[in-house]
Amino acid sequence: MPLYEAHLPVADLETSIAFYRDVVGLIPAYRQPERGVAFLWVEGPTVGMLGLWQPGASWGWGPGEKHRCHFAISVSLEVLFASIPRLRKLGVTPIGFGGGPIEEPSVIGWMPSAQVYFKDPNGHTVEFIAILPHQPNPSFVGTWSEWEKQREPKS
């Protein structure tokens, strides 16, 4: 069963709507100002939705709260690679599995998957992930280049 919907508490609803629209590429769907929530489509109504909740709203942070969340959006490998320069151009630092800035996607071998992570204005971690068609390697975690190198036949 595919995940359809996720919700995040945010510090500033307008800033977060702009980030998820302009940086992540989600499509504004519906706002309920009286509830302090905005909904954005992930590609469209049949694919998925993200809800953003301002402080004090039903799913927003309460006084003194500031926990961080993480979620991943499935993308093609081509989109994943293109996301790194695009994020930089938008002033967002792409980061790898280990938490540091990257020049290429990270790979987690047990799935296997390639991914690029970045932070939203609230400190939540957003992940673009591409599931790879390769054989899993449960002991591998590293860069795309290292993944490709270990996949090459040994002569």
Dump pLDDT digits (tens) for 19-73.
999 999 999 999 999 999 999 999 999 999 999 999 999 899 998 898 999 999 9
Whole-model pTM: value is: 0.91
For residue 116, pLDDT over 90 is answered with yes
Tokens of 108: 């987690």
2: pLDDT confidence band, cut at 50, 70 and 90?
A: confident
Q: How large is the average pLDDT for residues 67-80?
A: 95
Condensed to tens digits (0 to 9), the pLDDT of residues 127-150 reads 999 999 999 999 999 999 999 999
pLDDT at 154: 65
Tokens of 115: 């991914």
Q: How large is the average pLDDT for residues 112-136?
A: 97
For residue 1, pLDDT over 70 is answered with no
Q: Which amino acid is at 125?
A: T
pLDDT at 155: 61
Asked if 40 and 27 count as a contact pair (C-beta separation under 8 A), the reply is yes
Tokens of 118: 């970045």
First to last CA, the chain: 42
For residue 152, pLDDT over 80 is answered with no
Identify any residues that bridge with 5 across adjacent strands, giving them in sequence order.
49
Q: Give all domains of the chain, ordered by start, each with its CATH number.
A: 1-64 (3.10.180.10), 68-155 (3.10.180.10)
For residue 153, pLDDT over 80 is answered with no
Q: Please tell me which residue, 9 or 1, carries the higher pLDDT value.
A: 9
Asked if 58 and 34 count as a contact pair (C-beta separation under 8 A), the reply is no
Lowest pLDDT segment from 35-39, 59-63, 106-110, 122-126: 59-63
